[in-house]
Structure 1
Amino acid sequence: MYAYHHGGATSVGVFVAVRLGIAATVAPFAAAFADRFARERVMLFSDLARVAACVLAGLAVTSGTTPYAVYALATLTSVLGTVFRPAEAALLPVLARTPEELTAANVVSSTFDSVGSFVGPAIAGILLGFTGVAEVLFVVAATFAWSAFFVARIHPQAATDPEAEDESEERFGGLAGGVRAIAAEPRLRLLMSLYGAQCLVAGALGVLVLVLALGVLDLGNGGVGLLEAASGIGSVVGAGVALTLVGRKRLGGDFLVGLVLWGAPLALIGAAPSTVVAVIALGLVGVGNTLVDISAITLLQRTIPAEVAARVFGVLESVTIGSLALGALAVPLLVDALGARGALLGTGALLPVLAALSWRRVSAIDEGSRIPVELLAAVDAVPFLAVLPEQSRELLASRLARVDLNEGDVLFRRGDAGDRFYMVFEGSLSVELADGDKHVGAPGFVGEIALLRDVARTATVRAETAASLWTLERGLFLDTVGGHGATSRSAEAFVLSRLGTVPVS
């Protein structure tokens, strides 16, 4: 609004292009701070800095200074925001205790985004009717302050191990770590590509709505609002649909269905343009938008290495902004070449075709992300493993191997090399010590001292009854425990306790 009154449509176009271009360029680099520092503190800094930028922009409008100062502060606000979403996306898996909690948290986040996407502009429009641009900027500053109030209350239990941070820097290479992580992981490349394609169509839709309302359906300016409202309402409905699907644990399938819902309704509008068809179809697009956002982000959170998560989401932020811009730029070319209906048909066909071509590979990601409940329960039954982030617990659970013992079988002998960690889930074990035998039943565990202290087994362990155990290989156990500060300290405290009383190795 401010840009339009100080330079017309050209000013708006240049301002938006510059702002998005700078934000897309900065996003991957800004996100590196969320991997290097506490993510909740990075989010708090982003909020507070945006409070200051919005207040200064409001004061600049009030004082009547050059519009370029206002444009610069508005652009700065966007740049400061590029670090918030990657930090939030990387922090959620640390806070969530189960896959269902993570998906539900993403549902809530997406719902707020969907509601805000049309409620926010509506509130701004009402305020502009009674006040001015400066007052709206002050209200926006207040919303960032409100966000900061809640972010300041976040205190994750997980702590970062300095040695693990150093290993992460060696592995992922600083600011370029997000790009390297994506290049090294086929699943990330697939998800990023499909999400980028969806954003390309989203950018095109922003312009196609205008073409449809004003050109094809001849609904006038009010028709633009009607079609956008249909999509916004569909997004809220989609959040409810996604919430009912949490228990299915089929995120890959939901993601692909969302892609189809994003594209097929646009093709339907192109084939049979009418107001009723357009309203219903764009409502379905809104449902698809929410399904894609929730399922894609959750799949990424469960696929990205925790130590580079924010940088990967920073790359995603850049891909999102860039794809939106390219989609918007492509529409005039498509309309000139194919006509308005042809542009709708072509744009709408893209995502269903990509979904069909990638169905098998995305389904494989989905299969890999589902861990049996009993395996996760076995990991959670070990006190020092239960404090790990969700991705780490799922990784351990996916690598568990089963061992069955008959009564009297020896699991390992005193003096043996420590090669595995064992978790008992059926039966009981006898631990033979110099001061007498001890018993470990289900749920219990043995074998951690030899691994954590890098010593030989300090006791002989045999099956007191027929027993079944889950086992973890030495390297994975040590990498996981040693790479997480809270887990490492908890394990060390547990070892000291056992060495002082019952030295089970």
Structure 2
Amino acid sequence: MRLRAVMAVPSLRWSVLAWGLSVIAETASLVVLLVVAYEVGGPGLLAGFSILRAVPALIVTPVVIGWSDRGRRESWLTAVLATRSGLLALAAAFLVAGAPMAVLLVGGLASVLFSTHRPMSGALLPHLATSPAQLTAANAASAFAESAGTLAGPVLAGVLLVVGPPPLGLALAAVVVGAAAVAVRRIHDVTSPGDPGSAMTLASAIREFGVGLRALLQEPPLIALVFVQTFARGVLLIAVVVLAVDTFGQGDPGVGWLTAMMGVGGLAGSAAAAALVTSTRISRAVAVGVALWGLPMVALGFLTVPAVGYLGFAIIGVGNAVLDVGAFTLVARVIPPTILGRAFAAFEVILVLGVTIGSLVAGLAVPKFGVGPSLGLTGCVLVTLAAGSIPWARRLDTRLIPGDNVSALRECRQLDSLPLAAVDHLAAVGVERTFADGEDVMVQGAVGDDFHVVMSGRARVSRNGTMVAELGPGSGFGEMALLRQVPRTATVTAVGELTTFAISRLDFTVFVAGHPSAAAAVAHVAQERALADERRGSR
């Protein structure tokens, strides 16, 4: 039900669809590229290809995310997807021409750009969702789309490796990425253009990356859990080829079949995450996801046979979906919206580093110690760290329960269509004010400089000395003067002790009047009140 509700919101639907298509293209092209690398240079070139994909991403991701923070993220994401489509088409052409190293180079660059998609998408979702529950559900929908893509992409690649030439898989990936770009183009009026500021340079990108990284480091256990999981992903990137081709004897298509099992598990995992990962269990979902990655790897360390391999990869897919929902929702909840894009860029760099180091270690360890022991030791590290992080996860989940200010703002009719990022910002910058019985909150004819939301108590609204309304908790007032640039149109007086949450004119203008849906809601309330005044005046 929660996933269907998310898909009913057009902007969320297009964002989730674009991510799913992007993953299909990435996983399908990656299977082809891994096969090419293994055939040309074995495990050593597989590790080298992982470095080729990773090192440029450490530079490209912060720069692209920094640029996207200064403009419309949806426009930047469209441009990135279109560029990826062109690179994959070029890689297909090189494969037709029999130039495998050029294929790996161009295909690797396309994968580098893929690393920018999730940070931009993650920074967009808080501007599309209107509540923590909707944000969690949106991340669950994204995890479902990722799992579906992780299943569909390798299956398509495996089929094409059997029935057609390898370039066909890369050409199909180029088309699918192009479709993702079209989907992103359907997202409109989400974020206002940022302040362009000074020109983006490598030095400024590093500084802004540092801002995001410092924000993430406020939660060290989160960074540790995500890093070891991506380290394990890097190990698995090498192991999946060795397992499928050599250990299980299933040849090149087996790489696609085994990888696809992660997608099968991911579909089940994302459905479970949508039901079980709530705003009060976000951090614990991260720990559970890491444990579900580790346990199958431990099992493969003891019994490296196809049945355990395929079942284990399915369980890893479940863990991956649960982890993604928890981790990406958690980052969006604990990082201020003004630096969220940079935080997600730093987050992605950590992911890339983990995969790179894991691939390097596996490239050295698998030929020397064997694929089973390498997977088993990695799994033991993951399970141990996941178990040790449970106390931290419980404390953080308790801290993330919305406070009274946030709850009151979400109940306010004028603000209920605001995205979660805006509500959290207003809750942080607004001021709680208390008024004694009979004290005026605002006076008719005075200059209006703030908007109020009743948190507790009641307020009497009077116009020209006549009472016209009484407001209770969750009611907002004061928007008329701010919207229409006129003096206060009514006097509001406390009835008993009254507590309100005041939002300044500047913050109201930027975060409420500047958001299309919220501005429409505020204008509708203002129009209703104006019509009510006309009806009273005509009596």
TM-score (norm 1): 0.79
User: Could you tell me which residue of structure 2 aligns to residue 202 of structure 1?
Assistant: 233
The answer to whether the Cα contact below 8 Å between 2:228 and 2:382 also exists between their aligned partners in 1 is yes
User: Could you tell me which residue of structure 2 aligns to residue 124 of structure 1?
Assistant: 157
1:180 aligns with 2:214: no
Structure 2 counterparts to residues 345-494 of structure 1, below 5 A: 345-371=376-402, 376=407, 378-383=409-414, 385-394=415-424, 396=426, 408-412=437-441, 414=443, 422-424=452-454, 428-431=458-461, 434=464, 436-442=466-472, 443-446=474-477, 461-464=492-495, 469=499, 471-472=500-501, 478-479=506-507, 482=510, 486-487=514-515, 490=519
> Structure 2 counterpart of 1:44, which letter?
T
Deviation track 1:300-355 (CA, whole Å, cap 9, x = no partner) reads 12222223322222222222122112112223655688776554443112223222
User: Could you tell me which residue of structure 2 aligns to residue 83 of structure 1?
Assistant: 116
Deviation track 1:280-311 (CA, whole Å, cap 9, x = no partner) reads 44432221111111110111122222233222
The answer to whether the Cα contact below 8 Å between 2:283 and 2:330 also exists between their aligned partners in 1 is yes
Deviation track 1:139-186 (CA, whole Å, cap 9, x = no partner) reads 222112211221111113443575xx769x9xx965532321331454
Q: For 1:34, which of 68, 88, 102 is the aligned residue?
A: 68
SS at match of 1:461: strand
SS at match of 1:220: coil
Q: How far is the alpha carbon of 1:419 from its aligned partner? A: 9.8
Q: d(CA) in 2 for partners of 1:440 and 1:166? A: 46
Q: For 1:323, which of 354, 364, 368 is the aligned residue?
A: 354
Structure 2 counterparts to residues 178-327 of structure 1, below 5 A: 178-184=209-215, 186-209=217-240, 219-221=248-250, 228-247=259-278, 249-271=280-302, 276-327=307-358
1:102 aligns with 2:132: no
> Given the superposition, is the C-alpha separation of residues 114 and 460 from structure 1 closer, same or farther in structure 2, using an over 3 Å criterion?
closer
> Structure 1 counterpart of 2:173, which letter?
V
Q: d(CA) in 1 for partners of 2:419 and 2:114? A: 25
Q: For 1:137, which of 162, 170, 191 is the aligned residue?
A: 170
Structure 2 counterparts to residues 4-83 of structure 1, below 5 A: 4=37, 7-9=40-42, 13-62=47-96, 64=97, 69-83=102-116
Which has the larger displacement, 388-397 or 441-450?
Answer: 441-450
Q: For 1:111, which of 129, 135, 144 is the aligned residue?
A: 144
Q: How far is the alpha carbon of 1:41 from its aligned partner? A: 0.9
The answer to whether the Cα contact below 8 Å between 1:422 and 1:446 also exists between their aligned partners in 2 is yes
The answer to whether the Cα contact below 8 Å between 2:50 and 2:356 also exists between their aligned partners in 1 is no
Q: d(CA) in 2 for partners of 1:321 and 1:107? A: 22
Q: d(CA) in 2 for partners of 1:31 and 1:199? A: 20
Q: How far is the alpha carbon of 1:25 from its aligned partner? A: 3.0
Q: How far is the alpha carbon of 1:105 from its aligned partner? A: 2.1
> Structure 2 counterpart of 1:96, which letter?
A
> Structure 2 counterpart of 1:88, which letter?
S
> Given the superposition, is the C-alpha separation of residues 242 and 494 from structure 1 closer, same or farther in structure 2, using an over 3 Å criterion?
closer
The answer to whether the Cα contact below 8 Å between 1:199 and 1:320 also exists between their aligned partners in 2 is yes
Q: d(CA) in 1 for partners of 2:241 and 2:40? A: 21
Q: d(CA) in 1 for partners of 2:243 and 2:113? A: 34
The answer to whether the Cα contact below 8 Å between 1:107 and 1:239 also exists between their aligned partners in 2 is yes
> Given the superposition, is the C-alpha separation of residues 268 and 417 from structure 1 closer, same or farther in structure 2, using an over 3 Å criterion?
farther
The answer to whether the Cα contact below 8 Å between 1:82 and 1:314 also exists between their aligned partners in 2 is no
The answer to whether the Cα contact below 8 Å between 1:200 and 1:323 also exists between their aligned partners in 2 is yes
> Structure 2 counterpart of 1:54, which letter?
L
SS at match of 2:514: helix
Q: How far is the alpha carbon of 1:108 from its aligned partner? A: 2.3
SS at match of 1:300: helix
> Given the superposition, is the C-alpha separation of residues 144 and 130 from structure 1 closer, same or farther in structure 2, using an over 3 Å criterion?
same
Q: How far is the alpha carbon of 1:35 from its aligned partner? A: 0.9
Q: d(CA) in 2 for partners of 1:191 and 1:53? A: 34
Q: How far is the alpha carbon of 1:253 from its aligned partner? A: 1.4
Q: How far is the alpha carbon of 1:113 from its aligned partner? A: 2.0
Q: d(CA) in 2 for partners of 1:308 and 1:403? A: 28
Which consecutive unaligned segments of at least 5 residues does structure 2 have?
1-31, 534-539
> Structure 2 counterpart of 1:202, which letter?
R
Q: Percent identity?
A: 29
The answer to whether the Cα contact below 8 Å between 1:253 and 1:363 also exists between their aligned partners in 2 is yes
> Structure 2 counterpart of 1:486, which letter?
G
Structure 2 counterparts to residues 138-153 of structure 1, below 5 A: 138-153=171-186
> Given the superposition, is the C-alpha separation of residues 140 and 440 from structure 1 closer, same or farther in structure 2, using an over 3 Å criterion?
same
The answer to whether the Cα contact below 8 Å between 1:178 and 1:308 also exists between their aligned partners in 2 is no
The answer to whether the Cα contact below 8 Å between 1:262 and 1:288 also exists between their aligned partners in 2 is yes
